[in-house]
Amino acid sequence: DVKVTQSSRYLVKRTGEKVFLECVQDMDHENMFWYRQDPGLGLRLIYFSYDVKMKEKGDIPEGYSVSREKKERFSLILESASTNQTSMYLCASSSHGLAGRAEAFFGQGTRLTVV
Amino acid sequence: LAKTTQPISMDSYEGQEVNITCSHNNIATNDYITWYQQFPSQGPRFIIQGYKTKVTNEVASLFIPADRKSSTLSLPRVSLSDTAVYYCLVALGGSQGNLIFGKGTKLSVKP
């Protein structure tokens, strides 16, 4: 079974904290993605990575950064958390060469609350 | 990337066939059409994908007309458990690319 695992299901952080959201996949996928999901806005792409140490901005990268030091792990970093970053964060992965064709597998999500 | 437009919501009753149409007027030659399903508090999961004509699997059918400017996801005989948000994506079949989800269609199946 393909597995995309996000480190936390629920997280509460304080404004101004540096927050790390971790995602690990076990399918040797090249592509990894971070989304946030808010009511009425659907899934919005924050960043994606198509290879180790490679990253591309998605639609809403402001306030976020990412790290991909190993193929299986993709981290989302909130440098200084703010209340408007309270959201559900979803990580996904898919195989290389077929980013638009391959099935993307999602984690269960991390519900982050910034207080 | 081609932008997609789909209805915000749809209602149906158990046992009915549901068709959700997605328009993607700017689809490019290399683009594939993919549908995902998302239940509350879960990540989306892949349902079906196609390039042209008709694709069928154990879950759904996907109809794509010759001009490929739209596609229709067909769910036969829906049940309450099909209540979910359905996303239509159009993405490149090439080596790199991102996956852009829209707002999806919230399908509510009633008894």
DSSP per-residue letters across B23-60:
E-TT--TTEEEEEEEE-TTS--EEEEEESSEEEE-SS-
Instruction: Output b/e per residue, A79-113; b: 16+ Cβ within 10 A.
Output: eebeeebbbbbbbbbbbeebbbbbbbbbbebbbbe
CA dihedral A26, A27, A31, A32 (to 10 degrees): -30
Is A91 a residue whose pLDDT tops 70? yes
Average pLDDT over residues A70-92: 97
A90 touches chain B (CB under 8 A): yes
Best interface-test mutation with A: which of B30, B47, B62, B98 has the largest number of A CBs within 10 A? B98
Where is A70: in which H helix or E strand?
strand A64-70
For residue B49, which residues of chain A lie inside 8 Å, CB to CB?
Answer: 101, 103
Is B74 a residue whose pLDDT tops 80? yes
Q: Which pLDDT value is given to residue B95?
A: 42
Q: Which pLDDT value is given to residue B92?
A: 60
A45 touches chain B (CB under 8 A): yes
Please report which residue ranges of A1-115 form alpha helices under DSSP H.
none
Average pLDDT over residues A22-42: 92
Is B38 a residue whose pLDDT tops 70? yes
Contact A99 B95 (CB under 8 A): yes
Contact A99 B44 (CB under 8 A): no
B31 touches chain A (CB under 8 A): yes
* Mean pLDDT, all residues of chain A: 91
- In angstroms, the CA A61 to CA A67 distance is 13
B101 touches chain A (CB under 8 A): yes
A97 touches chain B (CB under 8 A): yes
CA dihedral B80, B85, B91, B96 (to 10 degrees): -100
Q: How many residues does chain A have?
A: 115
Tell me the pLDDT band of A78, cut-offs 50, 70 and 90: very high
For residue B97, which residues of chain A lie inside 8 Å, CB to CB?
Answer: 50, 99-100
For residue A108, which residues of chain B lie inside 8 Å, CB to CB?
Answer: 41-43
Q: Which pLDDT value is given to residue B2?
A: 58
Q: Which pLDDT value is given to residue B97?
A: 57
Tell me the pLDDT band of B94, cut-offs 50, 70 and 90: very low
Average pLDDT over residues A11-33: 95
Place of tokens 């077929």: A98
* Inter-CA distances, B77 with A40, A108, B28, B74, B100, Å: 27, 28, 32, 10, 29
Is B1 a residue whose pLDDT tops 60? no
Contact A35 B101 (CB under 8 A): yes
- In angstroms, the CA B104 to CA A36 distance is 14
